[in-house]
Amino acid sequence: MQDALAALIGPQNVRPGTDRTYLEDATAIRGLLGRADAVALPGSAEEVASILAWSYENDVPIVPRGGGTGYAGGAVPIDGGVVLSLERLTTLRSFDPLMWRMEVEAGITTGEIRRLARESGLFFPPDPGATEQSQIGGNIATNAGGPHAFKYGVTGAWVTGLEAVVPPGEIIRVGGPIRKDQAGYDLKSLLIGSEGTLGIVTAAWLRLHPAPELALPIVGFYGTTTQGSDALQTVVGSGLVPAALEYLDGGAFTAAAGSFPGGAPDSVGFVVITEADGTAAEATALRAELIEALEAESPLAIYAPESPAEVEDLWRWRDGVSIAVGAVRGGKVGEDIVVPLDRLGEAVDEIVEIGRRHDLAAVSWGHAGDGNLHANFLVDLANPDELARAEGAAEDGFALAVRLGGSVSGEHGLGYLKRGQLARQWNPAAIALHEGVKAVFDPKNLLNPGKKR
């Protein structure tokens, strides 16, 4: 197999399937390790197309891979085949700051795109937590969110066009440097969030936004979940539009409290992080209103950093919460369920209760404004019994999300780990359409088989 791939893209761009870097993603923390026959590192959309054409001729599964930061096992090759990494597609094809747009290849990291935009006074808002490793192609394939999705929307809201390779090895382009497109069925949106099961994204047109002049976060510490979730509803109900509206429950905050960059009170049961942005005048005025809204629910303390260094430290700390939680027992089984905002407090307490029923510590944090919880059950990876109990707890978490009118995934997708869960929330007719779409794009089921279904 390596020889056949080498003939297509050169031997230096093919690696053995045993290279562990390409066999796992962020789900390694719950023990998922795949198996591949080879790893291909194509350097252009044409090379990607040649590999997919070869796969279709020879019935070999292809697993597209971005930065490998996914939390659903989507990039993990479960049962052999070729891992196709987009890491060499890193060309900035065009950047037109005056038109607020750029065309990028799939392998550019999210962080690099945000930096490029910033240097020209622009802003690419999607900010999923692992921006230095995740790639824009992976963000598009998972329709990634992040803290600032509350005001600005998820990745798909910023994609105006896609270049993708679809079976049996064709390059298609849908959309482009245009802000509207009502011509055909919305193939762009079908590809966005399809987790590498319908096509391989090789490039994207992105729209950008003028960068806010100032961003001022505020942290509210509360004694109980009820006070904290009431504070969230007060913010939203007051008609304020913060850029971000995040939360941590007491357990998640305790896990990460040691590195919190400001002073924090004792006995924290719930934390709200919000942010005012805009012109300096807008951000300052909104900050005062947000503080007033947070204070209405009797916080233990408010931390409102102002200097750019303090603001950066706060968000860096927020990015590290997942790692801090994982470090408590060495492993965690986490799911990104979503519920209506007015059921968030109930879901947060219920997750802890589910953990208790399975004899596991449970914590959650996430994108509160979007009702999106990262519900995590803490485990010792060396203990198979704990892992099995955590999987059972995760199942209960899915049932909870659906019972509260939500979804089993708010941003990480179904990948491999949530296989079968869609049936909890969609009826058979909707599932049949889902399967039908897959069959139209990938009739041989060779693109990331076993994922997103």
Ligand X SMILES: Cc1cc2nc3c(=O)[nH]c(=O)nc-3n(C[C@H](O)[C@H](O)[C@H](O)COP(=O)(O)OP(=O)(O)OC[C@H]3O[C@@H](n4cnc5c(N)ncnc54)[C@H](O)[C@@H]3O)c2cc1C
Q: Does 64 bind ligand X (CB under 6 A)?
A: yes
Closest C-alpha among 353, 352, 363, 356 to residue 326: 363
Find the farthest-apart pair of alpha carbons in the chain and give their distance in angstroms, rounded.
67
Which stretch, 3-11, 57-65, 300-308, 351-359, contacts ligand X (CB under 6 A)? 57-65
Q: How far is CA 281 from CA 240, 286, 296, 307, in A?
A: 15, 9, 23, 16
User: How far, in Å, CA of 341 to CA of 19, rounded?
Assistant: 43
Which stretch, 182-190, 238-246, 302-310, 410-418, contacts ligand X (CB under 6 A)? 410-418
Map the footprint of ligand X across residues 126-165, applying CB under 6 A.
128-130, 134-135, 137-139, 141-142, 144-146
Helix (H, G, I), strand (E, B) or coil at 226: helix
What is the 8-class DSSP label of residue 128?
Answer: -
Q: By Cβ distance, which residue is nearest to ligand X?
A: 138
Q: Does 250 bind ligand X (CB under 6 A)?
A: no
Map the footprint of ligand X across residues 417-436, applying CB under 6 A.
none
Q: Does 45 bind ligand X (CB under 6 A)?
A: no
Find the binder of ligand X among 188, 358, 412, 418 (CB under 6 A).
412
- Distance of closest approach, residue 12 Cβ to ligand X, in angstroms: 21
* Residues 276 and 290: beta-carbon distance below 8 Å: yes
Total residues interacting with ligand X, rule: CB under 6 A? 38
* Residues 421 and 414: beta-carbon distance below 8 Å: yes
The smaller minimum CB distance to ligand X, of residues 68 and 220, is found at 68
- Distance of closest approach, residue 356 Cβ to ligand X, in angstroms: 26
* Residues 83 and 5: beta-carbon distance below 8 Å: no
The smaller minimum CB distance to ligand X, of residues 358 and 438, is found at 438
Q: Which residues fall within 8 angstroms of residue 24, CB to CB, at 6 or more apart?
A: 32, 33, 34, 68, 76
Instruction: Give phi and psi for 199, each to the nearest 5.
Output: -170, 170
- What is the phi-psi region of residue 31: left when phi exceeds 0, alpha when psi lies from -120 to 50, beta otherwise? left
| Strands ordered across the beta sheet of 62-65 | 14-16, 38-40, 82-85, 62-65
Q: Does 334 bind ligand X (CB under 6 A)?
A: no
User: How far, in Å, CA of 164 to CA of 168, rounded?
Assistant: 12
Find the binder of ligand X among 314, 411, 421, 438 (CB under 6 A).
411
**Structural element, H or E, at residue 117:** helix 110-119
- Distance of closest approach, residue 25 Cβ to ligand X, in angstroms: 5
Find the binder of ligand X among 1, 23, 25, 275 (CB under 6 A).
25
Antiparallel, parallel or unpaired: β 362-367 and 244-249? antiparallel
- Distance of closest approach, residue 367 Cβ to ligand X, in angstroms: 7
Q: Does 66 bind ligand X (CB under 6 A)?
A: yes
Find the binder of ligand X among 27, 69, 364, 409 (CB under 6 A).
69
Map the footprint of ligand X across residues 187-226, applying CB under 6 A.
195-196, 200-201
The smaller minimum CB distance to ligand X, of residues 79 and 385, is found at 79
- Distance of closest approach, residue 40 Cβ to ligand X, in angstroms: 13
Which stretch, 68-76, 112-120, 252-260, 354-362, contacts ligand X (CB under 6 A)? 68-76
User: How far, in Å, CA of 206 to CA of 188, rounded?
Assistant: 12
The smaller minimum CB distance to ligand X, of residues 293 and 324, is found at 324
Residues in contact with ligand X by the rule CB under 6 A: 25-26, 63-71, 74-75, 86, 106, 128-130, 134-135, 137-139, 141-142, 144-146, 195-196, 200-201, 322, 411-412, 415, 448, 451
